[in-house]
Amino acid sequence: MTNPKWARARFLRSNSRKLKENMTKPLTVLVVDDDEVFASNLAKNLTLDGYETLLAATGKKALMIIGENKPDILICDLKLPDLDGDSLLKEARTLSPETKLFLISAYVDTAIEERLKKICVCGFIHKPIVLDDVTAMIHKNTL
């Protein structure tokens, strides 16, 4: 008997491949997190799903990348060493209005989530993450 989680993962990967085949250019995802191992692993998984990925460990580096590359998707941690994710997302909205914004956090704060919904944050991803849920949330907000 097939495990439902594995079946869902195969379904998402299959749909990701179909999406990639139908796109002329893969969507670019900027992952911003000071936990470089976490960010690298998330980026590797997104690459397997057909996305082009960029990484930044600080808010300043992320703003530089956003200004130069205008990524399609930004996944940002709430707590960064030099800039909080809240401020980064607001600045990203100004620099690249078309970028889909997602917040990752180990801290669940509904007040922050409500405030960020006003600047059109597409989703909130709570740590620890489930990679398939992240992929599904991105698909839902980009298709």
Q: CB of 9 within 8 A of CB of 132?
A: yes
Give the position of tokens 């489930």.
130
In the chain the first and final C-alpha atoms are separated, in Å, by: 31
Query: How confident is the prediction along the chain (143 residues), in pLDDT tens digits per residue?
Result: 555 555 555 555 555 555 555 557 899 999 999 999 999 999 999 999 999 999 999 999 999 999 999 999 999 999 999 998 888 998 999 999 999 999 998 887 788 778 878 778 898 888 888 898 899 999 898 87
